[in-house]
Amino acid sequence: MMDRYIEQFPVVINALNIGFLQTLKLFLVTLIGALPLGLIISFGSRSKFIPLKLLVRFIIWVVRGTPLMIQLLIIYYFPGLVFHNNIWGGQETGRFIATSVAFIVNYSCYFSEIFRGGIAGIPKGQDEAGLVLGLTKSEIFFKVKLLQMVKSILPPISNEILTLVKDTSLARIIALQEVIWAGQAFMKGSQGISGEIWPLFFTAIYYLIFNGILTVLLGKLEKKLEYFK
Amino acid sequence: MSILEVSHISKSFDRTEVLKDICFSLNKSDVMSIIGSSGSGKTTLLRCLNFLEEPDTGVIKINGEKIYDAKDQEYLSEAAKRSNRLHFGMVFQSFNLFPQYTALENVTLAKELHAKREPDFKAHKKDVLEAIREEGKALLTQMGLADRFDNYPHQLSGGQCQRVAIARALAMKPDILCFDEPTSALDPELTGEVLKVMKELADQKTTMIIVTHEMSFARDVSDRVLFMDDGYILEDGTPDEVFNNPKEERTAQFLASFNS
Ligand SMILES: Nc1ncnc2c1ncn2[C@@H]1O[C@H](COP(=O)(O)OP(=O)(O)O)[C@@H](O)[C@H]1O
Ligand SMILES: [Mg+2]
């Protein structure tokens, strides 16, 4: 009995590592895309040009009001079903790009709302102090307000980041070969192992360790920004 | 010749006229105090001088040269306002220091950013930045903060913060330094140290406009006193004229409220 697990373990770990690499890639691509895009969207949702503001806020409302899983399914299948043109292709790369698009769109909307709150929370006096010193709007944003905003939004952003780690598992729905997919493969049969459910359960350890590391890193960053109030 | 000429400035918020046909001029090296009850338009007047608000009507001239004309689009662009407002330094009631920068960085930040816009900045980067830092240190030292260069605003008392704010405004070498109730947010025991540096600036012939409720200070340092009421300038004269022989009944009432 024990022998069987000892035999399976390296094979499974190897497969899960490969799967987790894909998970990690999706996580990073989403962050790198959604953080700046979220900032741009937050400017749109604060725009003085009312039609733009309403449009952006409507999009945010739709994206935040529907499950990420459905967004992912729509983005992946819609072009193929409706236009008979599967722009993503059937390959792993295509699935990864489709997943990334869905995740970036979804998370940038969540981030944008956090950014919007963060920008609005900075006292007007900071803008005015910058203005009377002859600074430009962009200098005021990048040199005066950005770091204050980062400090104030770090706790909610950290929350979203930890959620994102777990949300990457949704990519399983379009068969992206991330860590859950890799674990599940051993139920159906893969590399001479079949009917095993423990690899699927074991994937939880990956999420746990990764989120643990992120929690420590984000906590450190928060500490680092405690030098000012 | 007067350094500042303000003519026929008015300003409304949602149809309420807050400044009404404001006219005055100011001589170089003079200190002008603006007194008046809360809501009389003092803050709005200062904010119009540095274009945090746009006056609806009127003209502002510095050394005889127009820097604002409500009728002329040329003065309304962001770039025009940005360069013209540098004639005025501004010290706010609530300091508005940048919390993530040290006292010295608060003083040097704008200078550095201005320097970076110069085309030959890269060539002289080190010298330019060093000169800006030295200037900043000198200003903070002048403000009695020689031992506070590296403190962040939250590590400073209100009086120290306000002195950093004064140094920050002086760093831009404004023609006229404006104060909006600089001691109103301070504990009473801290107002003295701020008034003291302002007095020193006055003695060094800094041109200043000071909105204040510190009547004895205003009487002491001012060459000119304006009394504002309901958006009008009701008195414009020497401290002696305004405090001892006010023309208007309203002024006497206002001053009496301070003596009781
Ligand atoms: N941004 C604004 N919007 C609307 N009303 C304003 C605004 N700023 C000032 N006011 C009004 O203008 C009047 C003068 O205000 P203010 O200049 O702050 O007076 P003071 O500084 O003398 O107390 C007040 O009635 C105030 O409510
Ligand atoms: Mg005021």
Ligand showing the shortest atom-to-Cα distance for residue B44: 1
Q: What are phi and psi of B16, to 5 degrees?
A: -90, 120
**Minimal Cα–Cα distance from B217 to chain A, Å?**
25
Does A207 fall in a domain? yes
- Cα separation, B44 vs B152, in Å, equals 30
- Cα separation, A25 vs A47, in Å, equals 33
Q: Which residues are paired to B229 by β-bridges?
A: B232
Closest B-chain CA to A127 = B96
Instruction: Calculate the CA A165 to chain-centre distance.
Output: 7
Supply angle C-alpha A143, A35, A174, rounded to 5: 175
pLDDT tens digits, B202-228: 999 999 999 999 999 999 999 999 999
Supply angle C-alpha B256, B258, B260, rounded to 5: 75
With residue B49 as reference, give the H or E element that holds it. Answer: helix B42-49
Q: What is the pLDDT of residue A178?
A: 87
With residue B110 as reference, give the H or E element that holds it. Answer: helix B103-116
Does A127 fall in a domain? no
Q: What is the pTM of this model?
A: 0.89
- Cα separation, B245 vs A179, in Å, equals 86
Q: Which of these, B60, B34, B54, lies nearest to B229 by C-alpha position?
A: B34
Burial class (CB in 10 A: 0-12, 13-18, 19+), A84: exposed
Supply angle C-alpha A22, A23, A27, rounded to 5: 115
Find chain A residues with C-beta within 8 A of B110's C-beta. Answer: 130, 133-135
Give the ipTM of the model, two decimals please. 0.95
State the distance from the centre of ligand 2 to the C-alpha of A117, rounded, in angstroms: 28
Does A32 fall in a domain? yes
Look at residue B243 and give its three-state secondary structure. Answer: helix
Q: Which two tokens stand for residue B238?
A: 């020497």
- Cα separation, A11 vs A33, in Å, equals 34
Q: What is the 3-state secondary structure (H, E, C) of chain A?
A: CHHHHHHHHHHHHHHHHHHHHHHHHHHHHHHHHHHHHHHHHHHHHCCCCHHHHHHHHHHHHHHHHCCHHHHHHHHHHHHHHHHCCCCCCCCHHHHHHHHHHHHHHHHHHHHHHHHHHHHHCCCHHHHHHHHHCCCCHHHHHHHHHHHHHHHHHHHHHHHHHHHHHHHHHHHHHHCCCCHHHHHHHHHHCECCECCCCHHHHHHHHHHHHHHHHHHHHHHHHHHHHHHCC
- Cα separation, A10 vs A35, in Å, equals 37
- Cα separation, A124 vs B44, in Å, equals 15
Interface test with B, best of A122, A124, A132 (most B CBs within 10 A): A132
Q: Does B82 touch chain A (CB under 8 A)?
A: yes
Question: Which residue in B94, B113, B153 is closest to A139 by CB distance?
Answer: B113
Domain count, chain A: 1
Find chain A residues with C-beta within 8 A of B98's C-beta. Answer: 126, 129, 144
Does A141 fall in a domain? no
Instruction: Calculate the CA B174 to chain-centre distance.
Output: 9
Q: What is the pLDDT of residue B260?
A: 58
What average pLDDT is seen over chain B?
96
Does A12 fall in a domain? yes
Angle between helices B103-116 and B158-171 (to 10 degrees): 20
Whether B73 lines ligand 1, by a CB cut-off of 6 Å, is no
Does A29 fall in a domain? yes
Look at residue B235 and give its three-state secondary structure. Answer: strand
Length of chain B: 260
State the distance from the centre of ligand 2 to the C-alpha of B48, rounded, in angstroms: 13
Whole domain around residue A112: which residue ranges?
A: 2-116+154-228
Which residue stretches of chain A have pLDDT < 70?
A: 1
Q: What is the pLDDT of residue A1?
A: 67
Look at residue B119 and give its three-state secondary structure. Answer: coil
pLDDT tens digits, B26-43: 999 999 999 999 999 999
A residues 68-127 near B, CB within 8 Å? 123, 125-126
Q: Which two tokens stand for residue B121?
A: 């900045």
Residue entry with tokens 């400090």 = A151
Q: Which residue has the higher pLDDT, A8 or B153?
A: B153
State the distance from the centre of ligand 2 to the C-alpha of B43, rounded, in angstroms: 4
Q: What is the pLDDT of residue A181?
A: 87
- Cα separation, A167 vs A224, in Å, equals 28
The best mutation among B14, B44, B49, B93 to test binding of ligand 1, ranked by most ligand atoms within 8 Å of the C-beta, falls on B44
Put simply, the answer to whether A134 touches B172 (Cβ < 8 Å) is yes
**CATH code, domain with A108:** 1.10.3720.10
Q: What is the pLDDT of residue A99?
A: 93
pLDDT tens digits, B66-110: 999 999 999 999 999 999 999 999 999 999 999 999 999 999 999
Q: What is the pLDDT of residue A111?
A: 96
Q: Which two tokens stand for residue A116?
A: 């919007």
Find chain A residues with C-beta within 8 A of B99's C-beta. Answer: 148, 228-229
pLDDT tens digits, B4-28: 999 999 999 999 999 999 999 999 9
Question: In this structure, how many other beta carbons lie within 10 angstroms of the beta carbon of residue A180?
Answer: 24
Does A183 fall in a domain? yes
- Taking one residue from A and the other from B, the number of pairs with CB-CB distance under 8 angstroms is 66
- Cα separation, A20 vs A34, in Å, equals 21
> Which of ligand 1's atoms lies nearest the C-alpha of B37?
22
Instruction: Calculate the CA A124 to chain-centre distance.
Output: 31
Q: Which two tokens stand for residue A55?
A: 């449009």
- Cα separation, A142 vs A169, in Å, equals 35
Question: Which residue in B94, B100, B114 is closest to A134 by CB distance?
Answer: B114
- Cα separation, B221 vs B215, in Å, equals 10
